[in-house]
Structure formats: C-alpha cells, structure tokens
Amino acid sequence: MISQREIMGMPITVEIIGDTLTQKDIENIFAYFDHVDKVFSTYKQGSEISKINRTEITPEQYSEEMKEVLELSEETKQQTNGFFNIQKLDGTLDPSGLVKGWAIYKAALELKNKGFQNFYVEAGGDVQAEGLNKDGQRWLVGIRNPFMADEIVKVIECSGNGIATSGTYERGQHIYNPFNPLQKITDIVSLTVIGPNVYEADRFATACFAMGKAGINFLEKQPNLEGYMIDTSGVATMTSGFLKHTKL
C-alpha cells in the first residue's frame, strides 16, 4: 500500500509491503510526522521550538524529544567542525537540518518494530528503505538534475540504508555557512549523501552543503558515507564508493 500526505510543508510518501498491513499502520506514521511538525516547526507559533526561541520555557521543561534533537545537533556540530550549526544569526534555534532525517528514521524504526520488513518512507526527497519493493527488487531512488526537474541523473539502489539531498535548486538559499552566514553558497547546487540510515545521510548532507565544494572531500573521509555533488556548472563529483550503490 502506498500513501502520500502533505505534512511539515512537504510531501511525505509511505509504501509498505505486507499481508498484515492495515490502514491504521499507515495513519500512525502520518500522525507521527504531524506530531514532529507540531514540536519542531519554526513556522508554528505554538510549537515547542518556537516557545524555546521566545524563552517561554526553560531547559528543564524541554520534552525528551527536544533534548534528544538538541543533543544530536551539538554532536553533529562537533563532528562537522562547526559546519552544522542550528543557532541562527539572531540567536534562535532551527534544528530542521537534522529533524527531517531523524523523523524519517524514527518512523522506519516503528515499522520495523511492528514486524514490517519491506517498506519505503520518503519526506521531501529524503528516503529510508528496507527490504524489497512490490516487484521483489531493491528500492530505487533517483537523483534529479537540478537544472532540469524532469531528468534523473543517477539511480540509487536503496535497501537498509538512507539517502538525503541538500540543494538550492528548489528552495533557494536556505542553507548557509555558519562561519560566513551572510555569503550565499553559489559554487554548488546539489549534494546527495548515502548513509547507513537517513538520519546520518540528512545531517551530513546539510553540513557538507554548507562547506560548498569542499563538502565532497569531507564526505570522502567519512566511513559509511558516500556522496554525489553537482556544481553550478553542472559538473558532478562523487566519492570513491558512490557507484557501488547505483543501478547500472
């Protein structure tokens, strides 16, 4: 069964293969994403992160989910030499560069805990896939050409891992270099990361895009991560192990 909803300002798609699947299983996944949106959306005045940014609640009052995400954000900041930084210029916090992948990963874990072995969860282009699709084959995820929306430049086989893409070709300049936040990132337009799960892929895709062209070199040095970068001239650069994940 495949279903799609608009949540968190993006399309979320869930496909689950299984004889025991019920509509409630699907609804529970969408309900979880709706909950995450209500907690972490910086656009919702009533969200927990908005209340934190207005200093209406103290750290002692933070939910366990919030504490976890803030801790993971700090960990990612350290691991990326400061290129992942949820603190904005005005001092407020915006963990969205990590929350999407984290939420997809959590949703996938819930499906696994319920015994489902073959499924696909995608939010805004970021994917966690397990097992096989309805045709008994590994799930396929395409990397779009940032200059031609209807063209796929690479097809990745995905099963038991995660894929995330950061870029400026759809949402404009929404990612910034925390060491030079006023300067736009103009040397690259798309960076896709393959990781052991979508959480790892998403957080490093955000941080490495903030590094510009240097991001692909950073990825090359990371264990269990592969990347595919497209610069503003349309030239692609990939890590040494990227092609082993692609469908020839």
pLDDT tens digit sequence for 77-104: 999 999 999 999 899 999 999 999 999 9
Which tokens hold the place of 149?
């929306």
Do residues 152 and 230 touch, judged by C-beta distance below 8 A? no
Residues of the chain above pLDDT 70, percent: 97
In this prediction, residue 104 carries a pLDDT of: 98
Higher pLDDT, 222 or 178: 222
Do residues 162 and 198 touch, judged by C-beta distance below 8 A? yes
Domain boundaries, the chain: 2-245
Which tokens hold the place of 71?
């801790």
| The CATH fold of domain 2-245 | T-fold (3.10.520)
Do residues 142 and 150 touch, judged by C-beta distance below 8 A? no
pLDDT band at 19 (very low <50, low <70, confident <90, very high): confident
In this prediction, residue 172 carries a pLDDT of: 54
Strand partners, 109: none
Lowest mean pLDDT among 56-65, 177-186, 200-209, 237-246: 177-186
Q: What is the mean pLDDT of the chain?
A: 94
Whether residue 169 has pLDDT greater than 90: no
Q: Give φ, ψ of 233 to 5 degrees.
A: -90, 0
In this prediction, residue 184 carries a pLDDT of: 85
Q: Provide the Cα torsion 217, 218, 223, 226; round to 10°.
A: -60
Residue with tokens 């796929």: 152
Question: What's the pTM value of the predicted model, to 2 decimals?
Answer: 0.94
pLDDT band at 174 (very low <50, low <70, confident <90, very high): low
If you count DSSP H runs as helices and E runs as strands, how many of each does the chain have, helices first?
6, 10
In this prediction, residue 121 carries a pLDDT of: 97
pLDDT band at 170 (very low <50, low <70, confident <90, very high): low
Lowest mean pLDDT among 16-25, 84-93, 165-174, 233-242: 165-174
CA angle 95, 230, 101 (to 5 degrees): 25
109 sits in which H/E element: helix 96-113
In this prediction, residue 248 carries a pLDDT of: 61
Summarize the confidence of residues 52-73 as an average pLDDT.
97
Do residues 104 and 127 touch, judged by C-beta distance below 8 A? yes
Whether residue 159 has pLDDT greater than 80: yes
